[in-house]
Amino acid sequence: MPLSDFKSALVTGASSGIGRAVVKELTNANITTYALARRHDLLQTLQDETGCIPIALDLRDRSEIDAKLTGLEVDILINNAGHGRSEGPLHSADTEAIYDMVQTNVSASLHLVRTIAPNMVSQKWGHIVMIGSVSGLHPIKQSVYGATKGAIHMLCQNLRIELLGTGIRVTEICPGRVNTDFFKTAFGDKKSKELLDRFETLEPNDISNTIMHALDAPKRVNITTVELTGTAQAVGGLQTGDAENAYI
H-helix or E-strand containing 17?
helix 17-28
Tell me which of 34, 99, 145, 247 is the catalytic residue: 145
Answer for the pair 142, 195: CB distance below 8 angstroms, yes or no: no
Q: CA torsion sign, 52 to 53 to 57 to 62?
A: negative
**Vertex 207: Cα angle to 13 and 184 (nearest 5):** 55
- Cα distance between residue 49 and residue 21, in whole Å: 12
133: burial class by Cβ within 10 Å (0-12, 13-18, 19+)? buried
User: Does 145 participate in catalysis according to the annotation?
Assistant: yes
The SS3 of residue 167 is coil
- What stretches of 29-163 show up as alpha helix (H) in DSSP? 40-50, 62-69, 95-102, 108-123, 143-162
On whether the CB atoms of residues 119 and 34 are closer than 8 A, the answer is no
Q: Look at residues 11, 5, 74, 83 and name the one whose alpha carbon lies nearest to residue 47.
A: 11
Give the Cβ contact number of residue 53 at 10 Å. Answer: 15
128 within 8 A of 77, measured Cβ to Cβ = yes
Active centre residues (catalytic): 145
